[in-house]
Amino acid sequence: MNTVLIVDDETIVLKSIVNYLAHLGLQTIVTDNGNEALEMIKQNRPQLVFLDINIPGLKGIDVLRQANKYLQHSKIVVMTGHIEDELEKEALQSGAHSFLRKPFTVDDIKKILLELSIIKQ
């Protein structure tokens, strides 16, 4: 089964995404910091990563840049509550598949999962 890694230091965001993905039958792994996220990426090679930009340890944008070495066939969705067009542009140029601005809904997540053919309509 393919795995989805969720990286966020906000417990409510982690739990919300985990619960929704579990409802869809997807396996998840979670962490709240960048250093651990990079290790999990190296070890687990998740199919999809939901990555917050502002996390403790290695920052999300740095995780994104380094993760590309290990995730040739995986996608990374960057999440942030900070509205910065430059940050979004940098994330997309660094290999992010898409960008989710907080707060987002399960419909936003579902749209991405459908787009990536991780779930079917």
Summarised one tens digit per residue, pLDDT across range 19-70 is 999 999 999 999 999 999 999 999 999 999 999 999 999 999 999 999 988 8
Which pLDDT score is estimated for 88? 85
pLDDT surpasses 80 at 1: no
Tens digit of each residue's pLDDT (9 = 90 or more) over 64-116: 999 988 888 899 999 998 777 888 889 999 999 999 999 999 999 999 999 99
Residue 44 lies in a domain: yes
| Residue 121 placed within a domain | no
**pTM summary value:** 0.95
Q: What is the pLDDT of residue 86?
A: 86
Residue 39 belongs to domain spanning: 3-115
Residue 116: predicted pLDDT: 93
Do 43 and 15 form a contact (C-beta atoms < 8 A)? no
Domain presence at residue 110:
yes
Is 120 among the domain residues?
Answer: no
Number of domains in the chain: 1
Q: Is the pLDDT of residue 9 over 80?
A: yes
User: Has residue 76 been placed in a domain?
Assistant: yes
pLDDT value of residue 82: 79
| 18: in domain | yes
Is 100 a member of any domain? Answer: yes
| CATH number of 76's domain | 3.40.50.2300
Candidates 38, 39, 36, 29; CA nearest to 2 is 29
Q: What is the pLDDT of residue 97?
A: 94
Q: Is residue 56 part of a domain?
A: yes
CA distance 99 to 120: 21
